[in-house]
């Protein structure tokens, strides 16, 4: 590697900066005029507009570039589009784009879908995918050659731009098929995807018009854009997106946890709020933690996903604030196991909701009183919580304080069914990673009950995800709510399972299995982490700016739901553990920030809403104009998982002896 150097590059019309063999930073072009929702024409030279780049090669191999535009004209220059274009040569169909949280290797699971639900990009002539920077949790766009592993990425310093025609205009970033390759582009506002110009993904299944995304340059105005160029080749230890993730962490250093509430304050607040959800019903022994706020008419104890009714049965004794917490943990898990054991079917799935008013049990769609059995996601999560409670209760030092007899009966029946179903010769492989939430509990159950077939089933299911997702042609998808898109929770399902298999391999000293699951766990973790905000977006006037909300540490939901949520809190113990295992303190520091940052917006009672609108996307509210979307959040939707995940993670940290 050459020594770091600084140089000033003055771009002439013929200048091309070649930064990798064949790849090049193209000469600047300036868009003038606006017609039919896009730039009317591009010019290499606009009299009075000066453009220059200053660049420096950094010790980590990145090239930092600051492009400056200066308007020396005496009158305003109207309907202007500024840009940066970096061309990567090759077959555009093999150059897979990776734009965090939005377009993961082109969203291959959605091939053929151009209805606006999910952006897609296959590298065909005429395709483009360009998005607002505040939509990107890690602000980079990458192109990786799926045949050679060579990649190029541009990392941007996100910023709004002055002189906008429409309010709250930011720079945009993305990719566009070009002659002989694909371009990574940054523009001063224009966006579009799925062959539609001047639209943004503003709803779960729809786009909204985002026209007139140009600026006016005023006399003497200077505009600067800072970006970093990264090139390389994927290797055994990392795909291109993983190396870009590391670079993004190094650029933004999202590690300052001191800006947020302490872990002790968070845990006390969430415990208090959890206890406010404690309810008891007319049925004998009916009790537990309500999924819904008291403002809702429903009184449901719901296992897994949104309800997480079993979580406190594990977390409260571990956190050990008050003797009554142990009583509530015992009573709640006893009742849940009494109610749901008889609903376990031969495939191990079970009902997941108990209606305190009617005494009915039913499946995942509680509001519709769907009689179907629960889904693998909720059943897997609930079983995992109960198994962790069993493991804690049976520690020698805790012996006699909790009675896990009923818990064991439920857990063994569910694990038996899941394992037998997965190990059937005619078992049908899952289409999404949702069933991945069964891998971790089956692995733990194999240790608690000493049944080898549980571990065999966990490994068989994990092998499906290894075969399908460890590559370019599919990305972890459909783990939870978004059944047909690239999904953060889908990546977490695989990650959680791989981590438990890795821990087991370490415990039994199986070096071959350890190497295998270590690599798989890193891949799934890194994919999941690309949904994590590493920078603080700024907001228009609204609820987020009222609270001086800091987005670092929050996570984008999926390619379909592009708002932020606090789900990432649940993942932090495994991230921290991987940091310890890999001797990578960056992961430990990031886990701390993720946990503590996501407490923001919690009110004095401990209540926290969700669906943070950091970008032009919303699921509810006034959907008449895209300008009304950014800067708010769904304060009233306080389903129990928002509290349970904090307590669940805190208990796991406590068992590891970690104070964030």
Burial group, residue 375, by CB count within 10 angstroms (0-12, 13-18, 19+): buried
Residue 205 lies in a domain: yes
Angle between helices 568-582 and 488-508 (to 10 degrees): 40
Asked if 241 and 266 sit in the same domain, the reply is no
Q: Which ranges constitute the DSSP H helices of 394-484?
A: 405-422, 439-449, 452-469
Of 220, 223, 97, give the one whose Cα is nearest residue 170.
Answer: 223
Distance CA 439, CA 436 (A): 6
Distance CA 461, CA 466 (A): 9
pLDDT at 328 over 80: yes
SS3 per-residue string spanning 60-119: CCCEEEEEEEEECCCCCEEEEECEEEEEEECCCCCEEEEECCCEECCCHHHCCCCCCCCC
Q: In the prediction, which pLDDT does 539 show?
A: 95
Asked if 64 and 89 sit in the same domain, the reply is yes
Distance CA 449, CA 193 (A): 51
Asked if 21 and 48 sit in the same domain, the reply is yes
Higher-confidence residue: 605 or 174? Answer: 174
CATH number at residue 190: 2.70.98
Higher-confidence residue: 4 or 504? Answer: 504
Residue 333 lies in a domain: no
Using DSSP, state whether 187 is helix, strand or coil. Answer: strand
> Residue 11 in contact with residue 69, Cβ under 8 Å?
no
Q: In the prediction, which pLDDT does 407 show?
A: 98
> Residue 128 in contact with residue 192, Cβ under 8 Å?
yes
Residue 166 lies in a domain: yes
Angle in degrees, CA 641, 644, 645, rounded to 5: 85
Q: In the prediction, which pLDDT does 651 show?
A: 98
Percentage of the chain modeled with pLDDT above 70: 94
Asked if 169 and 58 sit in the same domain, the reply is yes
Q: Where does the pLDDT of residue 482 fall: very low under 50, low under 70, confident under 90, or very high at 90 and above?
A: low
Mean pLDDT of all residues in 532-561: 95
- DSSP-assigned states of every residue in 108-157: GGGTT--SSSS------TT-EEEEEGGG-SS-EEEEEETTT-EEEEEEE-
Asked if 141 and 189 sit in the same domain, the reply is yes
Q: In the prediction, which pLDDT does 183 show?
A: 98
Residue 184 lies in a domain: yes
Distance CA 113, CA 92 (A): 19
Burial group, residue 314, by CB count within 10 angstroms (0-12, 13-18, 19+): buried
Q: For residue 485, what are its two tokens?
A: 């898109």
Residue 36 lies in a domain: yes
Dihedral in degrees, nearest 10, Cα atoms 548, 560, 243, 251:
-20
pLDDT at 22 over 80: no
Q: What is the mean pLDDT of the chain?
A: 92
Distance CA 478, CA 482 (A): 5
Burial group, residue 261, by CB count within 10 angstroms (0-12, 13-18, 19+): middle
Q: In the prediction, which pLDDT does 114 show?
A: 58
> Residue 198 in contact with residue 49, Cβ under 8 Å?
no
> Residue 33 in contact with residue 93, Cβ under 8 Å?
no
Distance CA 556, CA 99 (A): 12
Of 239, 246, 141, give the one whose Cα is nearest residue 471.
Answer: 239
Residue 429 lies in a domain: no
Distances (CA, A) of 205 to 116, 474, 629, 632: 6, 21, 15, 20
Q: In the prediction, which pLDDT does 367 show?
A: 42
Q: What is the pLDDT of residues 190-246, one digit of tens each?
A: 999 999 999 999 988 889 999 999 999 999 999 999 999 999 999 888 999 999 999
Distance CA 506, CA 509 (A): 5
> Residue 192 in contact with residue 201, Cβ under 8 Å?
no
Higher-confidence residue: 113 or 209? Answer: 209
Asked if 201 and 262 sit in the same domain, the reply is no
Residue 512 lies in a domain: no
Asked if 177 and 194 sit in the same domain, the reply is yes
Asked if 264 and 139 sit in the same domain, the reply is no
Q: What is the pLDDT of residues 394-444, one digit of tens each?
A: 999 998 999 999 999 999 999 999 999 999 999 999 988 989 999 999 999
Q: In the prediction, which pLDDT does 19 show?
A: 41
Q: In the prediction, which pLDDT does 537 show?
A: 97
Residue 346 lies in a domain: no
Q: Domain span at residue 548?
A: 256-279+531-660
Number of domains the chain is built from: 2
Distance CA 140, CA 87 (A): 15
Tokens 């819904």, residue located: 292
Q: Where does the pLDDT of residue 5 fall: very low under 50, low under 70, confident under 90, or very high at 90 and above?
A: very low
Asked if 220 and 268 sit in the same domain, the reply is no
Asked if 570 and 631 sit in the same domain, the reply is yes
CB atoms within 10 A of CB 418: 28
Using DSSP, state whether 460 is helix, strand or coil. Answer: helix
Asked if 14 and 133 sit in the same domain, the reply is yes
Distances (CA, A) of 357 to 99, 281, 360: 47, 7, 8
Tokens 């075969």, residue located: 467
Asked if 270 and 193 sit in the same domain, the reply is no
Q: Which residues are CB-neighbours of 367 under 8 A, at least 6 positions away?
A: 298
Q: In the prediction, which pLDDT does 391 show?
A: 98
pTM of the model: 0.94
Tokens 């299911």, residue located: 461
Q: In the prediction, which pLDDT does 18 show?
A: 39
Of 114, 148, 145, 144, give the one whose Cα is nearest residue 128.
Answer: 114
Mean pLDDT of all residues in 138-160: 97
Q: What is the pLDDT of residues 298-326, one digit of tens each?
A: 789 999 988 999 999 999 999 999 999 99
| HSE value, Cβ hemisphere, 13 Å, CA-based, for 294 | 9
């Amino acid at each position: 590697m050459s020594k770091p150097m600084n140089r000033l590059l003055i771009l002439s019309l013929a200048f091309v900066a070649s930064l990798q063999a064949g790849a090049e930073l193209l000469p600047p072009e300036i868009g003038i005029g606006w017609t039919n929702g896009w730039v009317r024409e591009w010019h290499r030279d606009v009299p009075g507009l000066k453009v220059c780049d200053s660049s420096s090669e950094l010790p980590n191999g990145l090239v930092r570039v600051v492009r400056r535009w200066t308007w020396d004209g005496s009158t305003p220059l109207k309907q202007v589009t500024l840009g940066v274009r970096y061309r990567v040569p090759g077959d555009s169909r093999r150059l897979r784009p990776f734009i965090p949280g939005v377009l993961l290797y082109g969203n291959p699971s959605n091939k053929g879908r151009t209805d606006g639900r999910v952006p897609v990009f296959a590298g065909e002539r005429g395709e483009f995918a360009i998005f607002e920077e505040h939509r990107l949790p890690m602000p980079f766009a990458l192109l990786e050659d799926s045949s050679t592993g060579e990649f190029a990425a541009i990392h941007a310093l996100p910023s709004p731009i002055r002189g906008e025609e429409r309010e709250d205009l930011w720079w945009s970033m993305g990719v566009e098929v070009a002659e002989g390759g694909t371009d990574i582009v940054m523009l001063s506002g224009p966006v579009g995807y799925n062959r539609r110009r001047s639209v943004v993904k503003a709803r779960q299944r729809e786009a909204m018009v985002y026209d007139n995304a140009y600026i006016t340059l005023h006399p003497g105005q200077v505009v600067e854009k800072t970006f970093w160029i990264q090139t390389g080749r994927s290797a055994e230890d990392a795909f291109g997106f993983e190396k870009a993730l590391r670079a993004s962490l190094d650029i933004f250093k999202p590690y300052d946890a001191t800006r947020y509430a302490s872990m002790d304050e968070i845990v006390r607040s969430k415990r208090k709020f959890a206890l406010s959800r404690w309810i008891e019903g007319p049925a004998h022994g009916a009790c537990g933690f309500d999924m819904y706020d008291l403002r809702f008419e429903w009184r449901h104890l719901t296992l897994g996903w949104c309800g997480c009714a079993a979580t406190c049965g594990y977390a409260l004794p571990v956190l050990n604030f008050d003797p009554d917490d142990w009583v509530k943990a015992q009573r709640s898990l006893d009742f849940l196991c009494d109610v749901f054991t008889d609903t376990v079917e031969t495939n191990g799935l079970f009902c997941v909701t108990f209606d305190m008013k009617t005494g009915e049990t039913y499946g995942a769609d509680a509001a519709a009183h769907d009689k179907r059995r629960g889904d693998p996601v909720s059943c897997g999560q609930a079983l995992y919580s109960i198994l962790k409670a069993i493991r804690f209760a049976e520690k020698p030092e805790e012996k006699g304080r909790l009675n896990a007899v009923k818990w064991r009966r439920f857990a063994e029946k569910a694990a038996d069914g899941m394992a037998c179903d997965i190990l059937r010769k005619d078992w049908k492989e899952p289409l999404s990673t949702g069933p991945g939430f069964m891998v971790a509990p089956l692995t733990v159950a194999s240790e608690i009950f000493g049944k080898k077939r549980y571990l065999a089933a966990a490994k068989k299911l994990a092998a499906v995800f290894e075969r399908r997702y460890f590559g370019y042609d599919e990305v972890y998808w459909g783990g939870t709510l978004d059944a047909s898109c690239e999904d953060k929770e889908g990546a977490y399902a695989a990650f959680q399972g791989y981590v438990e298999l890795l821990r087991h391999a370490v415990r039994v000293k199986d070096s071959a299995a350890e190497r295998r699951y270590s690599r798989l766990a890193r891949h799934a973790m890194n994919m999941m982490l690309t949904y994590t905000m590493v920078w603080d977006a700024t907001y228009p006037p609204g609820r987020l700016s009222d609270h001086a909300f800091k987005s670092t540490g929050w996570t984008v939901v999926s390619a379909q739901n592009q708002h932020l949520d606090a789900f990432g809190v649940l993942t932090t113990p495994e991230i921290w553990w991987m940091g310890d295992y890999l001797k990578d303190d960056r992961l430990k520091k990031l886990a701390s920030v993720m946990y503590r940052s996501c407490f923001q917006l919690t009110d004095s009672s401990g209540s926290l809403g969700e669906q943070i609108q950091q970008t032009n996307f919303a699921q509810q509210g006034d959907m008449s104009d895209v300008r009304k979307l950014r800067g708010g959040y769904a304060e009233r939707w306080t389903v129990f998982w928002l509290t349970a995940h904090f307590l669940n993670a805190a208990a796991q940290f406590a068992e590891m002896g970690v104070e964030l």
